[in-house]
Structure 1
Amino acid sequence: MTSRFAHTLPWGTEIVEDGARFRLWAPAQGSVSLLTETGATIPMAKADGGWFELHTDAVPVGGGYQFVLQDGMRVPDPAARAQISDVHGPSRLVDPKSYAWRCPDRKGRPWQEAVIYELHTGTFSRAGTFDGIAHDLDRLVDAGITAIELLPVAQFGGNRGWGYDGVLLYAPHTAYGGPDGLKRLVDACHERGLMVLMDVVYNHFGPDGNYLHQYAPDFFDADRNTPWGAAIAFDRTPVREFFLHNALYWLEEFQCDGLRFDAVDHIKDTAEEEVLAEIARTIRTRIPDRHIHLTIEDDENTTRLFQFDESGAPRLYDAEWNDDWHHAMHVILTGEETGYYKDHVDEPVARLARTMAEGYDYQGEVSAFRGGKARGEPSAHLPPTVFINYIQNHDQAGNRAHGDRLVSLAPPEAVDAALTLLLLAPHIPMLFMGDEYGETRPFLFFTDFRGDLAKAVVKGRRADFGSHESYANAATGAEIPNPNAIETFERSILEPADTPRFALVKRLLEARKTHVVPHLTSFGGHAGAVTALKGFTFSVQWNLDDDSALVLTANLSDAPVTIPSNAGGKPFFTTPPGIDTDAGALPPWSVVASLTF
């Protein structure tokens, strides 16, 4: 059930006529009480199925509250809409209807228009807040960006972090500006025609501030773990509802335009309808009158979640992050061959061309990096817009020992060519914050933990790079930045500049809008094919319904090459500018984009 911009939650709190309703699932507890900010303790009624509930006017809107367990332990509300301060203290009672929306009737934009800009709230601006993002949106619009994708903003331990260690998944981080700050940002984006996509983490909880184990151990699957912590027991109804309603909450109460689901290969359940499918199906049913976009990250390269109706509208998910495209491109640009890049070192240009034509590189082939395990499923039957490509993202920069951005690893002309392929292909492009002007400051891994946890994170980080072959040439452990040091965070803050790279990206996105986007609804499955491939040169062609085609031809090497004879019709964009295709040669690190009729 939902009312105007307020989503009714089965967990947590709801404003009611005579006060507020407080509700907690605590099956391991014999009793639970509500503690108000005045110090009053009010017993909660025990209901069936491990639920505790209370209706009271003892907590005013804006006031703080906590739950008190049977041993006297005080815990925050796991479904709190806001915290007073950090993850360990009182939650704050919020009236979601109190915010006055400036763009209440915004319907969003079609997926084909998406040009995604992934950003981290804390380092996008010096302010490090939602309002700080809002103050610089015009620059993104000027570049041609149509959607921002926020790294997770749910409350996590401390003030600094990537957000993937969230523990209070309904509470926009206090340090970023809380729920009203996020709503102001969404409004500011919608005023400018920008979509807002939210990155959500449903595969684990962070290590600091997660109290669910104390009163609801059944929330977790005792037989399974993820690389980041205990696995979630999605086959239990209260757990399933917690995440189902969290997804609806961001879309309905905050008017976000879509969600990106982190590492779904670690979301497992035994229900007849898997939780990921149920979430997507429920969203499509409940919000039929807005453009809502659902995307996933899935290391297994599966295709089951991509189903489309006769009109081409998604029944479940729109798209997936395509690491294969990134990895092949990275190998070409940098020559790196270790870690997960080892799966792409043999004929990387052919692998890149395959991802452009068919989506995945690994479609059931054996992955050496994954110990000989088969990875992926055939993907050529999917339309190109199912695949989100990028030259880097928060992981690909931040999980390097020194947070290196691609501009520090590859020559500028090579990065220009990569950006051209990224932004003019019929896939959905994503830029990581700073890509649009060539940011050189690193994006480092940073946290804000204390005590033994802080020491363990530093030790683990250095051990990872000491043993991982991807970083065999990294600096010694002592030189790897301390994730908890404030300077590690501060070094990652953007310093935007007006550069030739910004001008290039702007021209590319203007060309995409004019020459590529109008055709994207015409590209169905099996639209792409590699039509020429020799050494570091290739052509990929995507056929349209009217026998015309989009063609991208690239020379990804330091030497000029003969242009393939089927390189397409009249170019609408070349990198570098002014390539004469009639001359029969492609200069080093060049791309020609053409439409044939």
Structure 2
Amino acid sequence: MSEQETVSTTATPGRGVDGDFAVWAPHAVRVTLRADGADHRMRRGDDGWWRATVDTAGSGTDYAYLLDEDPRPLPDPRSLWQPQGVHAASRVYDHAAHTWTDTAWTGRALPGGVVYELHVGTFTPEGDLWAAIERLDHLADLGVTHVELLPLNAFDGTHGWGYDGVLWSAVHEPYGGPDALKAFVDAAHARGLAVLLDAVYNHLGPSGAYLPRFGPYFSGENAWGPSLNLDGPDSDPVRRHVLDGALDWLRHFHLDGLRLDAVHALRDDRATPLLAALADEVDALSTALGRPLALIAESDRNDPRTVLPREAGGLGMTAQWSDDLHHALHVALTGETHGYYADFEDPEALPTTLTRAFWHAGTYSSFRRRTHGAPVDTARVPGHRFLGYLSNHDQIGNRARGDRMGEHLSPTLLACGAALLLCSPFTPMLFMGEEWGATTPWPFFASFTDADLVEGVRRGRRREFAALGWAEEDIPDPMDPATRDSAVLDWEQRDHKHHALLLETYRSLIALRRDEPELADPRLDRFEVVASGDGRRLVLVRGGLRVVCNLDPVDAEIELDAPPRELVFANGRPRVRGTQVVLPGECFAVLRL
């Protein structure tokens, strides 16, 4: 047995694998365990944990907890398996029962990688991890290195984005449950693909959120509801709940990292914030496992300290998303300037975000109506610590129809966007289907079982977009199963005409990034962008390479600093005259000086 297997198959105490059950309920007067067809009184410890042993229990045993006089049995807050849904009993799951085949896997570091964001429920018509395994060869052939799965933890209903999860350690059963995730990771590792998981600890979904019934897990409010109690009274076990859950994904499921949702909503006034504590423990686990583990934060703060190492006074995140870069790219490609895009209409927005990650860096944000962010020290912080993207689940799904850029832009302009992203110093991330310019929408959808909640979600969605001028009939019903079905990727589309050509462009650019180290060089202080024509013509200076891009629909003349001697790759037919390059409209070229 390998070291990785030794670490990964240790049973988690208190979840019934050895007949021992434990639950934290510090304010309860009585807790009863219902397991193996009988009720068992639990013993309270001074630490607020209740414990019981059921000799006949083990893997596959259904169990639940009853608190005080409440007759309703509740699932385990630390449940690993919810085969009947989030309102039903938990089931004992034994990690040691899985035989791993990835013993030779040594991991993949995020620097130099290309991330692919994937929603299991719409990646295939079947919408589960087993079907997703059948598409992994496509990702390996594309050249991506990391697959980032949108949240998999259990939520109410069959279909949803995953951000309404209520049991943070249980794999959603309609996706295949815990065994399917392990099979997916095994299959990905066999193809050289690392697997990241989007983990949501900043809030609970509206249905099946029994966690607060057990203890003071929440205190105060954030944008999504109750805020996690990370620094108030009785917060030590709450923090431990999050830390243990995060480590379990990496240890027991052999995941290679976590994407942490909206960390700005994790309110924490301790000297060592939760994210810093998590970074320390993940670093220790990485050492024990002998493979790199990544923590990627989604943060709205534009605070470079998020990705500074712990020893430099930072939070120690491996990387963070850069929405500013997305917004600048989106405005440059689409011309949209409504809402928060208004700040990125400035011709300097794209060159600045390409070289400095943040546009709002101690500057005024009209959308927020205040000064926002802080500048990145480009001499100290490498570009690979920021994920750049043309699209992601939020930026598509939070549009009224969930429409993608592939529906509106020409394939040549989409290719220009891909070139700017994949030849940048940042860690590129693609959203599933982007690589062939998919036109299938990806709107918000859910499938809650409570009738009042269903109607409330419908009304809320209509109200939100009606305020922005949308007609009600143009807003997809998020609770209609057809809305989810419309979001399923059309895999046949990738083989059709311009879609196939764009896919080949993505493959070539990713391969070029791998084969030409200068294109992946993350050093921001050695990267330069020269812009002209109101920011519509750009030259990316990448060592001895120049990436020239014309976003306008007409030919453009672009002056270089030296005559190019080789055309490395292009999506059109550039003409070179000494130091001048004539690019057709919506064309890019990679040239070697």
Pair in the same fold by TM > 0.5: yes
Secondary structure at 1:48 match in 2: coil
2:575 maps to which of 577, 580, 583: 580
Contact 1:557 1:588 in 2 (8 A): yes
Aligned to 2:221: 225
**Taking structure 1 as reference, are residues 396 and 533 closer, same or farther at Cα in structure 2, changes over 3 Å only?**
same
Aligned to 1:545: none
Secondary structure at 1:562 match in 2: strand
Q: Distance in 2 between matches of 1:208 and 1:137?
A: 32
Q: Distance in 2 between matches of 1:519 and 1:411?
A: 25
Query: How does 1:159-178 map onto structure 2 within 5 Å?
Result: 159-178=158-177
Aligned to 1:541: 541
- How far did residue 14 of structure 1 move? 5.0
Aligned to 1:60: 58
Secondary structure at 2:420 match in 1: helix
Contact 2:296 2:317 in 1 (8 A): yes
Q: Distance in 2 between matches of 1:568 and 1:341?
A: 37
2:355 maps to which of 354, 357, 375: 357
Q: Deviations over 1:46-99 (max 9, x none)?
A: 011321111222323112110111122310001111012100001010110000
User: Is 1:564 paired with 2:565?
Assistant: no
Q: Deviations over 1:494-530 (max 9, x none)?
A: 11122211111111111111113x774x643522233
**Taking structure 1 as reference, are residues 459 and 298 closer, same or farther at Cα in structure 2, changes over 3 Å only?**
same
Contact 1:358 1:526 in 2 (8 A): no
Contact 1:7 1:252 in 2 (8 A): no
Contact 1:575 1:590 in 2 (8 A): yes
User: Is 1:6 paired with 2:6?
Assistant: no
**Taking structure 1 as reference, are residues 265 and 571 closer, same or farther at Cα in structure 2, changes over 3 Å only?**
farther
Q: Distance in 2 between matches of 1:135 and 1:69?
A: 44
Contact 1:552 1:567 in 2 (8 A): no
**Taking structure 1 as reference, are residues 315 and 285 closer, same or farther at Cα in structure 2, changes over 3 Å only?**
farther
- How far did residue 251 of structure 1 move? 0.6
Q: Distance in 1 between matches of 2:452 and 2:397?
A: 23
Q: Distance in 2 between matches of 1:512 and 1:280?
A: 29
Q: Distance in 2 between matches of 1:567 and 1:403?
A: 44
**Taking structure 1 as reference, are residues 595 and 205 closer, same or farther at Cα in structure 2, changes over 3 Å only?**
farther
Structure 1 letter corresponding to 2:516: H
- How far did residue 424 of structure 1 move? 2.0
Query: How does 1:425-574 map onto structure 2 within 5 Å?
Result: 425-449=424-448, 450-468=450-468, 472=469, 474=470, 476-496=471-491, 497-498=494-495, 499-516=500-517, 520=520, 523-535=522-534, 536-542=536-542, 548-566=543-561, 569-570=564-565, 573-574=568-569
Q: Distance in 1 between matches of 2:425 and 2:481?
A: 41
Structure 1 letter corresponding to 2:43: A
Contact 2:351 2:531 in 1 (8 A): no
Q: Deviations over 1:323-348 (max 9, x none)?
A: 1111111112222111111121222x
Q: Distance in 2 between matches of 1:146 and 1:567?
A: 34
Q: Distance in 1 between matches of 2:584 and 2:113?
A: 31
Q: Distance in 1 between matches of 2:188 and 2:210?
A: 35
- How far did residue 105 of structure 1 move? 3.5
| Residue ranges of structure 1 left out of the alignment (5+ in a row) | 543-547
User: Is 1:369 paired with 2:367?
Assistant: yes
- How far did residue 309 of structure 1 move? 9.1
- How far did residue 285 of structure 1 move? 1.5
Structure 1 letter corresponding to 2:360: Y
Aligned to 2:329: 329
Q: Distance in 2 between matches of 1:494 and 1:175?
A: 18
Q: Distance in 2 between matches of 1:3 and 1:25?
A: 28
- How far did residue 549 of structure 1 move? 4.6
RMSD over aligned Cα, in angstroms? 2.2
Aligned to 2:26: 27
Q: Distance in 1 between matches of 2:291 and 2:16?
A: 25
Q: Which moved more, 1:248-257 or 1:279-288?
A: 279-288
Contact 1:574 1:590 in 2 (8 A): no
- How far did residue 165 of structure 1 move? 0.9
Q: Deviations over 1:564-589 (max 9, x none)?
A: 23278445544324423335322212
Structure 1 letter corresponding to 2:574: I
User: Is 1:36 paired with 2:38?
Assistant: no
**Taking structure 1 as reference, are residues 525 and 438 closer, same or farther at Cα in structure 2, changes over 3 Å only?**
closer
Secondary structure at 2:15 match in 1: strand
**Taking structure 1 as reference, are residues 503 and 48 closer, same or farther at Cα in structure 2, changes over 3 Å only?**
same
Aligned to 1:77: 76
Q: TM-score, normalised by structure 2?
A: 0.92
Query: How does 1:124-273 map onto structure 2 within 5 Å?
Result: 124-216=123-215, 218-221=216-219, 224-235=220-231, 236-273=235-272
Q: Distance in 1 between matches of 2:576 and 2:388?
A: 27
**Taking structure 1 as reference, are residues 372 and 540 closer, same or farther at Cα in structure 2, changes over 3 Å only?**
same
- How far did residue 3 of structure 1 move? 4.4
- How far did residue 102 of structure 1 move? 0.8
Contact 1:206 1:229 in 2 (8 A): no
Q: Which moved more, 1:246-255 or 1:558-567?
A: 558-567
Q: Deviations over 1:310-331 (max 9, x none)?
A: 9x9x982221111111111111
Q: Distance in 2 between matches of 1:226 and 1:6?
A: 36
Q: Distance in 2 between matches of 1:69 and 1:303?
A: 44
Q: Distance in 1 between matches of 2:374 and 2:485?
A: 38
Q: Which moved more, 1:282-291 or 1:374-383?
A: 374-383
Q: Distance in 1 between matches of 2:301 and 2:310?
A: 24
Q: Distance in 1 between matches of 2:565 and 2:94?
A: 58
Secondary structure at 1:458 match in 2: helix
**Taking structure 1 as reference, are residues 570 and 462 closer, same or farther at Cα in structure 2, changes over 3 Å only?**
farther
| Matched positions, count | 572
Secondary structure at 2:166 match in 1: strand
Q: Deviations over 1:6-30 (max 9, x none)?
A: 35547x5152xxx322111112211
Contact 1:66 1:76 in 2 (8 A): yes
Secondary structure at 1:13 match in 2: coil
Structure 2 letter corresponding to 1:485: D
Contact 1:131 1:177 in 2 (8 A): yes
User: Is 1:316 paired with 2:316?
Assistant: yes
Contact 2:573 2:583 in 1 (8 A): no
Aligned to 2:118: 119
Secondary structure at 2:132 match in 1: helix
Contact 1:397 1:405 in 2 (8 A): yes
- How far did residue 275 of structure 1 move? 0.4
Q: Distance in 1 between matches of 2:509 and 2:243?
A: 38
Secondary structure at 1:581 match in 2: strand
User: Is 1:342 paired with 2:342?
Assistant: yes
Secondary structure at 2:198 match in 1: strand
Aligned to 2:45: 47
Q: Deviations over 1:232-286 (max 9, x none)?
A: 0112110000111111111110001111011111112121101001101111012
Contact 1:532 1:566 in 2 (8 A): no
User: Is 1:589 paired with 2:591?
Assistant: no
Contact 2:118 2:147 in 1 (8 A): yes
Q: Which moved more, 1:19-28 or 1:525-534?
A: 525-534
Q: Which moved more, 1:46-55 or 1:558-567?
A: 558-567
Q: Distance in 2 between matches of 1:457 and 1:379?
A: 43
Structure 1 letter corresponding to 2:359: D
**Taking structure 1 as reference, are residues 459 and 559 closer, same or farther at Cα in structure 2, changes over 3 Å only?**
same
Contact 2:360 2:374 in 1 (8 A): yes
Structure 1 letter corresponding to 2:333: L
Query: How does 1:282-321 map onto structure 2 within 5 Å?
Result: 282-288=281-287, 289-308=290-309, 316-321=316-321
Secondary structure at 2:19 match in 1: strand
Q: Distance in 1 between matches of 2:562 and 2:505?
A: 22
